[in-house]
Amino acid sequence: MDEVVEARGAGSRKMTGTPSQIEWAEQIKPRVNAEFDRVAKAFAAVAGNQGEQARIDTQAVIAILEEKRAEVMARDQAGYFIRDWQELNDQVRRMIGQDSRYQAIKARKAAADITTN
C-alpha cells in the first residue's frame, strides 16, 4: 500500500495523497484549469454582444467563476481532483449555478422580465 505523502505541485502548493494519486491529480489539474478558461471565454464572448446591464451581470458571473477557480485550484487533496474532476462534465456550470450571488442575478433578471412583459 502506498503511503500518504505531500508533494509540491506546479503552484508550489503541497498536494496530499499517495504518490500515484498525486501524479494522477497533477495530470488532471491542468485540464480543470483549461475548463475554467473555456467557460470564462464563452461568457466573455457573450458579454461583448450584450447591453450594459446584461454585460454587468455577465461580468459578475465571470468574477464568480474566477473565485470558484481559485477555490478549486487551491485544494490540496489529490483524491478531490481524481474523484470530482477526472471526468469533465458540467462541474463548472453547476458550481456557478449553485452560487447564491448567481441565483440573485438570475432572480433579479426574472423579476425584471416579469415587470417588462
pLDDT per residue as tens digits for the range 20-67: 999 999 999 999 999 999 999 999 999 999 999 999 999 999 999 999
Q: Does pTM top 0.85 for this prediction?
A: no
Q: How many domains does the chain have?
A: 1
Position 49 in a domain: yes
| pLDDT over 90 percentage in the chain | 80
The answer to whether position 45 is within a domain reads: yes
Question: Containing domain of residue 104, as a range?
Answer: 18-116
The C-alpha angle with vertex 31 and arms to 27 and 35, in degrees rounded to 5, equals: 165
Q: What share of the chain is helix, strand, coil (3-state, %, to 5)?
A: 75, 10, 20
Which pLDDT belongs to residue 4? 53
9 occurs within a structural domain: no
Q: Per the domain annotation, does 107 fall within a domain? A: yes
In a domain, 62, yes or no: yes
